[in-house]
Amino acid sequence: MSFGLEAVGLVRNFGALRAVDGVSFELQPGELLTVFGPNGAGKTTLLRMLAGVMRPDSGHVRVAGAPADVASRDWRHRVGIVSHQSLLYGQLTIEENLRFYGRLFGLDDLKTRIPERLASMGLSDRARTPVRELSRGLKQRVALARALLHDPEVVLLDEPYTGLDPHASAVLREQLASLKNGRRTVVLVTHNLKQGLELSDRVAIQVQGRFSSVTDSASLDLAELEVLYHAAVENPA
Amino acid sequence: MRAYLALVWAVTRKDLLVEFRTYERLTAMGAFAVLVGVLFNFSIDTAVVRPQDIAAALIWMTIIFGGMLGMGRTFRLEEEDGALAGILQSPIPLHALYLGKVLGNFILLSAMATLVFFVFGLFFRLSFSGNPVVLVAIVGLGVLGFVSLTTLFSAMATRSSMGESLLPVLVFPLLVPVVVYGATATDRLFAGRPVVEVGGNLRMLAAFAIIFTVAGAGLFRFVIEE
């Protein structure tokens, strides 16, 4: 059986520090996993390995059953990433940024695809605005449009709510909720227990590089998650 | 092949678009070229030295030092809001990314080199009418060798905590052939020597440019991957 996303025994060291320590999980297509954890737990490092931006010291990742090796480029059109950084060029307009990334992904229908993505993010009237002139909330929407431009099967979200005001967070939450369209596999990394829980199918708590627990979110309410989270952080396995 | 070239051009086009929005690198390199030309013009005693005799060496040193100002920032642009991670996550082959960067830098440095020749030609009363095609070939090959090397090492410096200050230390020793063969060939053209006398220098510049471009494309992934 092929999973949407599969991580097996991922380990990454930075000198003496083990940032990610034997993380394994499998996600079905359409599932959303939220990874919680304190600062320095290795969440971003984990996501960078899942995105193929960083090489694991050991372990491997599979995307839709295919090995997602860092040296290989072929599988990357299956994955989109949104980070707390926008991954955009401030000097270029929204449209130019999307066109550039579209070309990198070898898309040949950009004339129709870009306006569609901009419309779905409510950005049509700002297509020619330089990214540096956008608010943090709008920039995150452009970042999401960029990540979804090539219609990836796996979407990785690293602290997408960072720096957003409540309204911008709510707008982004709507956009992220729409990602769960039944076939897209999503991994969301966040500090915010409430925002993370409400979208997820499963939750994991990462402490000192390890997953201390992976739980179905249907069986959890926010209070229970808080208890679980604090227990994991205060008494790491 | 067409798809590959389209990827290379996408990177080049993006770099040039960003540069033409800010003129950050062109301004730094251009100002340096003009200032150095002016300074040399006033600091050389023409009663003792004929400016034409030392112009070629000064031109190449200006291109190298001025070029370093711009090339050092090649990957700073990508780091500003994490854009490099976005590119690395995409399916573009890393040698295509490297070649796109090299081509962008080649165009920018060629513009700067043209300005350097213009400034020195003006101040030192140089004549470029002898063999302009050969002169363009010398400069083009020298600039290609320079940018192929500095683009690779700029990526390496970006990954280092020492950043841009590390770049000249790494690059200057390897640039000796460009300076020696470029300056010698240019000097001979300025002196009105026959083209056959610069053939060897041209071949060395071409070999240097090809070797470093090919090696850079092959080594780039080891420099840029985490």
Chain A positions in Cβ-Cβ contact with residue B18 (cut-off 8 Å): 89, 91-92
Range of the domain at A178: 5-234
Chain B positions in Cβ-Cβ contact with residue A88 (cut-off 8 Å): 81, 83, 86
Interface test with B, best of A87, A131, A162, A187 (most B CBs within 10 A): A87
pLDDT tens digits along B43-90: 888 888 888 889 999 999 999 999 998 888 888 878 888 888 899 999
Q: How many domains does chain B have?
A: 1
Stretch B160-184: mean pLDDT = 85
pLDDT value of position B163: 67
Q: How far is B213 from chain A (nearest CA, A)?
A: 20
pLDDT value of position A150: 92
Verify whether the Cβ–Cβ distance B226 to A79 is below 8 Å.
no
- Which residue is closest to B22 within chain A, CA to CA? A91
pLDDT tens digits along B7-39: 999 999 999 999 999 999 999 999 999 999 999
Verify whether the Cβ–Cβ distance A87 to B83 is below 8 Å.
yes
Q: How much is the pTM?
A: 0.90
**Domain harbouring A42, CATH code:** 3.40.50.300
Range of the domain at B211: 2-224
Instruction: Map tokens 């990462």 to a residue.
Output: A206
H/E element, B17: helix B2-22
Stretch B109-136: mean pLDDT = 90
One digit per residue, pLDDT tens: chain A, 237 residues? Answer: 578 899 999 999 998 899 999 999 999 988 999 999 988 899 999 999 999 889 999 999 999 888 888 888 888 999 999 988 889 999 999 999 999 999 999 999 999 999 999 998 888 999 999 999 998 888 988 998 999 999 999 999 998 888 777 877 887 788 788 777 668 899 999 888 888 888 889 999 999 999 887 888 888 888 888 888 888 888 776
User: Distances in Å between the alpha carbon of B94 and those of A53, B100, B170?
Assistant: 12, 10, 22
Pairing of strands A32-36, A17-27: unpaired
Helices B132-159 and B51-71: crossing angle in degrees, nearest 10, is 40
pLDDT value of position A53: 87
Contacts of residue B51, defined as CB under 8 A and 6 or more positions apart, other chains included, come to B41, B44, B123, B124, B125
Residue B211 neighbours by CB distance under 10 Å: 14
For residues B90 and B25, is the Cβ–Cβ distance under 8 A? no
pLDDT value of position B165: 75
CA dist., res. A186 & res. A202, Å (int): 10
pLDDT value of position A101: 95
pLDDT value of position B81: 82
- Which residue is closest to A144 within chain B, CA to CA? B86
Q: How far is A230 from chain B (nearest CA, A)?
A: 31
pLDDT value of position A1: 57
For residues B125 and B45, is the Cβ–Cβ distance under 8 A? no
Candidates B104, B106, B102; CA nearest to B217 is B102
Using the CB atoms, write b or e for A145-170: b if 16+ within 10 Å.
bbbbbbebbbbbbbbbbeebeeebbe
Candidates A81, A15, A17; CA nearest to A48 is A81
| DSSP per position, A150-194 | T--SEEEEESTTTT--HHHHHHHHHHHHTT-SSS-EEEEE-S-HH
Interface test with B, best of A12, A46, A49, A89 (most B CBs within 10 A): A89
Chain A positions in Cβ-Cβ contact with residue B77 (cut-off 8 Å): 89
For residues A90 and A131, is the Cβ–Cβ distance under 8 A? yes
Q: What is the DSSP letter of A76?
A: G
Q: How far is B2 from chain A (nearest CA, A)?
A: 11
Average pLDDT, chain B: 91
Among candidates A54, A81, A86 on the partner chain, residue whose Cβ is nearest the Cβ of B226: A54
CA dist., res. A142 & res. B12, Å (int): 22
Chain A positions in Cβ-Cβ contact with residue B86 (cut-off 8 Å): 81, 87-88, 101, 146
For residues B15 and B83, is the Cβ–Cβ distance under 8 A? no
Q: What is the DSSP letter of B125?
A: T
- Which residue is closest to A12 within chain B, CA to CA? B226
CA dist., res. B93 & res. B95, Å (int): 6
For residues A5 and A154, is the Cβ–Cβ distance under 8 A? yes
Beta pairing partners, A32: A186
ipTM score for this prediction:
0.88
Pairing of strands A154-158, A185-189: parallel
Greatest alpha-carbon pair distance for chain B in Å reads 61
For residues A1 and A65, is the Cβ–Cβ distance under 8 A? no
Interface test with A, best of B12, B81, B95 (most A CBs within 10 A): B81
Q: How far is B163 from chain A (nearest CA, A)?
A: 19
Angle at the Cα of B132 (from B130 to B134), degrees rounded to 5? 100
Candidates B186, B208, B206; CA nearest to B197 is B186
Q: How far is A156 from chain B (nearest CA, A)?
A: 11
Chain A positions in Cβ-Cβ contact with residue B81 (cut-off 8 Å): 85-90
Chain A positions in Cβ-Cβ contact with residue B10 (cut-off 8 Å): 100, 103-104
CA dist., res. A47 & res. A189, Å (int): 8
Counted across chains A and B, CB pairs separated by less than 8 A come out at 83
